Structure formats: C-alpha cells, structure tokens
Amino acid sequence: MYCTRKITDDLLYIGGSDRRLNRFENLFPIPRGVSYNSYLLLDEKTVLFDTADEAIGRLFFENLEHGLDGRALDYLVIHHMEPDHCVLLGETLRRWPDVKLVCSAKALSMIGQFFPLNVSDRTLVVAEGDKLSTGRHTLHFLMAPMVHWPEVMVTYDELGKTLFSADAFGTFGALAGNLFDDEITFDQNWMTDARRYYANIVGKYGAQVQTVLKKAALLDIQFLCPLHGPVWRAHPEVLVEKYQKWSTYEPEDKAVLILYATMYGNTENAASVLAGELAEAGVHDIKMYDVSDADLSDLIAEIFRCSHLVFAAPTYNGNLHPKMEALMSDMKALNVQNRTVALIDNGTWAPVAAKHMAARLAEMKAMNVMENPVSLRSSLTEVQRESLHALAQAFAAELV
C-alpha cells in the first residue's frame, strides 16, 4: 500500500526507509536504518527525481503509481548513478517506456555500465546552467562532480524554490512518518548520523563541496530535498552551516578526542589518566574510544567534530598497532586536516609507535603535532604521569 507525503501542492515525497539493512555500502553500520528519497513533481509535465534502492522497490512503485494517478511519466531526472538510487531504473523504463531521462553526460555513460540498455535516443543530456520547463516550473541543472561521484548534478526548481541536492545534505537514519526538519529533534536524534554520513561518504571532497555551497548561496532555497534523510523546510541553513565547517575541515567543537589501542590495559590506563588530568584542568568536552572496539565510521565522525586529538598506541610487531594503522589510513583517505595532535606510545623493549604515528600524520595537511610524545615502557610511571599532566595543561590553555 502506498505511503506518500505532500511537500508542496504539486510535489510529493515517494521514497521509503529500510530498517533491515545492517551496513550502508556494506561498510558503515546503520543501527537506525536509512531512507531512500525520491520525489515526484506534478506539473503540466510529470517529473520523477531519482528512483530508489531495490529494498523498497515495491513501495516505491506503489507510491509512484499512486502519485501519477493514471498520468504518464514524462521525465526522470537522474542526479546520481549509485545503485541505491538507480537500481530501479530498468524497471521504471519498462513500466513507462515513453519517459525521457534527464542526466549529465557522465551519468549517461554510466547507465550502460549498470544496465544492458541503450537509452541515448531517449535521454536529454544537460550541462551546467541548462534549464527545462515543465509548465509552471523551470528546472535549473547544476553540476556537482565528486560530491561524491563524478556524474553527480543537483536541480533547482525556480518556482518551488527547491533544491534537489543528490547525496549532499543527506544523513543516515530511517524516517518514521515525520519527513521535515521541523517535525523532528534534529540536534538530539539526527546530528550524529548527519556528521557520520558526511565525514565518511563525502568527507574527502571538501573542495568540491565548497563549489556546490557557493552555487547554493546564490539560490533562494526554501526546501532542501536530499536523497537520504529529512527534507529541510524550516531551517535549511542549519545543515548548510555544518557543511561549511565540515568541508573546510574546521573543527566543529573545541573538544579533546582520545583514541587509544591497548593490548593489556596499560596504554588504556595512560589514556584514562590523561582524561582525568584534562578534566581537572577544566576541559569539559572529552571523548575516549578504544579503536579496537569502535567502528571506524564513528571515529572518523568524531575526528571531524573535535579540535584536539590524542593518539595512544603500543608498538606491535615493530610497527604500529594494526587498528590504529587502519584508522590513520582512513583519516588520510578522507582528507582529515587542521587539527592539534598529541601522541602517546608504549613499548616494552623497542617503542616505535609514536614514530610511525607521526609519519602517518605528516602525510596529512595542517596537522599540528605536539613535540615530545609521551613514551611508556610497559606501564605508566610517575615521571610519565607528570608528562601527561603537562600535556593536559597545554591543551587546556587552548580550550578553557
């Protein structure tokens, strides 16, 4: 049975949510599920903005047929060719054989990679600044390459003052009836997922996001319609401001994030002592994570949030602890930069973890790594505790 919601008098939400999927892209845990958003414009011409994932295929087609109410489907705008938005393209073409596709040139080339279809004779290829009139509405097409695939574009509806933003401004989390930002408590229930989505999906492409933000700044946006998560109609500037920070790699909060790997608890103990020293020094926002237990996507999201980072790890096989190695590799891949960093290492006979961590951080941009890492020999001594106290005081001088 169909389940749609009206965004405006002639724009329908026809997407749905998946609460059964455990990992997005088979990589990122999504305990709250995820939504796959699709939209239908009912003008003189009908326009479908993206399809959806096969997990909600039945609901999607029921919603689309209900929304059309017997009308033909005239246009299908393809913003992004990732399968969670395009896997239903072939079935949509089978059901509405006269529909015309609207997409970028790169998207057209990708269609043939995913489907055994020749659609070139039924495709309107659009470029930056092209327009399409559907009756009362005029659609403006803006290219958004590498946010976060090369074929991505966004669409601005001039009359509806609506930006269909592809994966930009999306978030993890299934929708539960409430579609709009003024129907949910975003800061309390959604911001963590929005940050984790951005940092892990789009985080690498800050420069490209900045380009899109500059284009969006020239538009009068009253509705922000992403492919995942809530539709913004009350305060779209909230998420736009967050994207401004995240895409320039500016720390969101003045906070300390302690990331540790430990084998027998001694390195964890040093991290805990440092956390206590920071608290005594007046630092209030302190987070600690065991990198062997936490998911990488959560750690990356917190790294995007916090201004000051501490990495604590033992030497392992004459190198860096594998879980810390994986985290730092992910940081580099996602273009993390502009943080203040302190290091703690541990080694019973040949401690080299700090040396390896410093080398990884040197590969990243604008990472202010503090001199003189705290180096343990098996367990924490009183002398090393004094070093942790000095480190806490140095951080507090910048944060309190």
Q: How many CB atoms lie within 10 A of CB 111?
A: 22
> According to the model, what pLDDT value does residue 400 have?
93
Asked if residue 296 and residue 191 are part of one domain, the reply reads no
Top-confidence residue, 189 or 232? 232
Is 273 within a domain? yes
337/288 same-domain check: yes
In terms of domains, do 324 and 229 share one?
A: no
The model's pLDDT over 238-254, given as tens digits with 9 standing for 90+, comes to: 999 999 999 999 999 99
Other beta carbons less than 10 A from residue 333's beta carbon: 11
- 27 shares a domain with 128: yes
Q: Examine the fold and report which residue of 223, 247, 271 is the final residue of a domain before the chain moves on.
A: 247
Residue type at 12 in one-letter notation = L
Question: What would the mean pLDDT of 115-122 be, rounded to a whole number?
Answer: 91
Q: Are residues 221 and 275 in the same domain?
A: no
Query: How high is the pLDDT of residue 2?
Result: 86
Q: CB atoms < 10 A from the CB of 220, how many?
A: 8
% of the chain surpassing 90 pLDDT: 97
Mean pLDDT along residues 114-142: 96
pLDDT, position 187? 87
Q: Which residue's structure tokens are 């087609």?
A: 61
Could you tell me if residue 347 is inside a domain? yes
Residue 252 domain-assigned?
no
Residue 188 has pLDDT above 90, yes or no: no
Write down which residue in 205, 226, 247 finishes a domain. Answer: 247
Q: What is the pLDDT of residues 192-221, one digit of tens each?
A: 999 999 999 999 999 999 999 999 999 999
Work out the pLDDT band at 395, boundaries 50, 70, 90: very high
Does 26 map to a domain? yes
Assigned domain for 159 exists? yes
Residue 158 falls inside a structural domain: yes
Residue 41: half-sphere exposure toward Cβ, Cα within 13 Å: 28
Q: Are residues 191 and 211 in the same domain?
A: yes
- pLDDT band per the 50, 70, 90 thresholds, residue 369: very high
Strands 319-320 and 306-316, bridge-based pairing: antiparallel
Is the confidence at residue 1, as pLDDT, over 90?
Answer: no
Domain identity same for 235 and 287:
no
Q: What tens digit of pLDDT does each residue of 218-242 get?
A: 999 999 999 999 999 999 999 999 9
Of 218, 247, 276, which residue sits at a domain end? 247
Range 261-290 average pLDDT: 97
Do 157 and 201 share a domain, yes or no? Answer: yes
- Same-domain check for residues 218 and 265: no
Q: Structurally, how many domains does the chain consist of?
A: 2
Task: Name the residue range of residue 121's domain.
Answer: 5-247
61 with 117, same domain?
yes
Amino acid 189: pLDDT:
84
Q: How far apart are CA 255 and CA 253, in angstroms?
A: 6
User: Do 236 and 273 share a domain, yes or no?
Assistant: no
CATH number of residue 108's parent domain = 3.60.15.10
Task: Decide: pTM greater than 0.75.
Answer: yes
Check pLDDT > 90 for residue 264.
yes
- What is the widest separation between alpha-carbon atoms in the chain? 79
The reported pLDDT for the residue numbered 216 is 94
Give yes or no: residues 81 and 109 share one domain: yes
pLDDT of residue 350: 87
